[in-house]
Structure 1
């Protein structure tokens, strides 16, 4: 979609809800995000982003409550109404354009999935802290990760309503935010049964900050692929060239070719769910954490107590262990007074594991940090 087409689309598809939202943002009458972001639950990164404090979550409860789910926005949250919203399915690779209201969308056969979302920059802070490499962007640690139960219509069913022409190869969800954020998907990924246009999150309507009225959920891929506030699905024979796949969510750096590789699948990761650094009374303690993989369920979490040199302990997995969602783990520890680091390393059911720090590739934007992270704790 070229710039002039996008401006026309935003003007036509957004309706009064989008115009009102833009007007409110311009006047400064509303805050840039909607839900409360108390310091006890979130670390703020600028005006539009909030990292979940993982220590605020309940061990064993895999699904992240909406009020604690991280926020990663490219701008202010648009205030859209269901009544004024439409989904336009169009492009040179559809047989017939389709326009759906919100009421029509929610009556279509739906699917409910439990999957995680994670920002591509989750772990960016560790490039500097562990490798001495100053990457561009907000210094997320581990909290740009959350699991939700999503309900929506598979993209395959929506595309079937429009009919696909021979040569259809790309599907680009386009958002109704101020810049019309868009990110194309290969048709094969869009047609997977768990790639959905979600309109419910954890049993209720999508919160505004998380994409109301509807957002794409693309399991296993970077969060930037799960476009929020979707107003259109553009189907094409050629890959659309937009900032999200040419400039923003690509791997830049000395080790990467030009044009740069486009980010798609996430990486397997784990985290200790404690403040950074941790502070605990000495003695027998239970340490909790999370582990997740874009490829399947977690098989085990190995733990090092010497800074990641030797992984001699195996944590116990607790609660649900769901593919492309994650699991909680716990470790019983007898800790004397002093300093200690706890380094988890996840292994999934297919044998994928976190690479050693020596194999973590650098990139200018600090994407896809996957190495095990020593979490510092002082026992007193």
Structure 2
């Protein structure tokens, strides 16, 4: 084998994810594991699987549904139970929900630029977010046959990847109508990079809670402490309590579907984007150009809880350099702030952004 062919074969063997991640669709963060969607490559309401962002803590495991099983156990259940892949399809009702998943570190690179500092962790731009129709079994339907005890407090899915990624949630969140063990994504069997054979979808929470490649669920009568809620995916820093605060829900934020910076032609056009508010529903989006007055953008259906909404406005720009600013408001009256307090890990950066645009004749 020639040296070039040997190098190509080694690169294929060492690749940490399965699906192609072409630069015209995905933004490479440099980790080999994490790829964001390009904001100017979002064609419809749902994010196509080929460009849905990837965030993993270890390489995508190759799992066989024929030998895979899911174990429900812990001191919070009376009768531990094990399910096969066929059990999930044959013995439980399937439900579908449209939900957005966003990494808590989305926009981390912009956070660092705003403060003139550099964070450790994945250097996300704006693309660590995506929306899909997830189909599967309600997590509560899988927990109830195990006999949840009266003292059960937390539920923790655990992955079958190399590091056994895991993240606990309160029992009430695990029993919610829209907390699923998903088997299908956008009408297709769950792809390997997105959690095949089964993953949890925890609506409105940070992406790290929606554990992929689930093989075990622990139900506990005590609070569960793991690296993913004590050392990482927590808020720490001078403006936060001394004890790390685990991140749960995602705050309201918006996204302009243009490159950063953007180049446009001097002609009438429509500027589009998305807004997301975690567990809540976005009810209004406003925009302004070059520090002008705030104006209402048009919202397009659907308008769902725990899912993003599309917005748009018409603009006839003059040649020159411009700034687009967008702010979203949710059904709890929360609006994107102008600034966000510092935190040492660069999470939950969601202020009004100043999107640079150059308009050329």
TM-score (norm 2): 0.93
Give the equivalent residue in structure 1 for 2:34: 49
Corresponding position: 1:251 with 2:231 = no
What pairs up with 1:202-351 in 2 under 5 angstroms? Answer: 202-306=186-290, 309=291, 311-351=293-333
- Count of matched residue positions in the alignment of Structure 1 and Structure 2: 349
* Partners of 1:270 and 1:345 within 8 A in 2: yes
Secondary structure of the residue aligned to 2:245 is coil
Corresponding position: 1:375 with 2:360 = no
Give the equivalent residue in structure 1 for 2:81: 98
Cα distance in 1, alignment partners of residues 208 and 179 from structure 2: 14
* Partners of 1:87 and 1:230 within 8 A in 2: yes
Report how far residue 133 of structure 1 moved: 3.6
Give the equivalent residue in structure 2 for 1:7: none
Structure 1 vs Structure 2 CA RMSD = 1.6
Report how far residue 68 of structure 1 moved: 1.0
Report how far residue 128 of structure 1 moved: 2.1
Q: Alignment partner for residue 201 of structure 1, among 185, 209, 217?
A: 185
Corresponding position: 1:353 with 2:353 = no
* Partners of 2:100 and 2:129 within 8 A in 1: yes
Corresponding position: 1:187 with 2:187 = no
Deviations 1:168-220 (A, max 9, x none): 11111010000111111111111111111111111111110000000010011
Deviations 1:256-289 (A, max 9, x none): 2232111101111101111111001112121111
Report how far residue 92 of structure 1 moved: 1.1
Secondary structure of the residue aligned to 2:87 is helix
Secondary structure of the residue aligned to 1:125 is helix
Give the equivalent residue in structure 1 for 2:115: 131
Cα distance in 2, alignment partners of residues 129 and 144 from structure 1: 17
Report how far residue 311 of structure 1 moved: 4.5
Cα distance in 1, alignment partners of residues 26 and 230 from structure 2: 31
Greater shift, 131-140 or 109-118, is seen at 131-140
* Partners of 1:116 and 1:326 within 8 A in 2: yes
* Partners of 1:295 and 1:348 within 8 A in 2: no
Corresponding position: 1:118 with 2:106 = no
Deviations 1:95-125 (A, max 9, x none): 1010000000122112210000000000112
What pairs up with 1:7-26 in 2 under 5 angstroms? Answer: none
Give the equivalent residue in structure 2 for 1:65: 48
Deviations 1:17-58 (A, max 9, x none): xxxxxxxxx998352100000000011111100010010111
TM-score (norm 1): 0.89
Cα distance in 1, alignment partners of residues 72 and 349 from structure 2: 35
* Partners of 1:62 and 1:319 within 8 A in 2: no
Greater shift, 89-98 or 121-130, is seen at 121-130
Greater shift, 103-112 or 82-91, is seen at 103-112
Runs of at least 4 residues off by over 6 Å: none
* Partners of 1:91 and 1:234 within 8 A in 2: yes
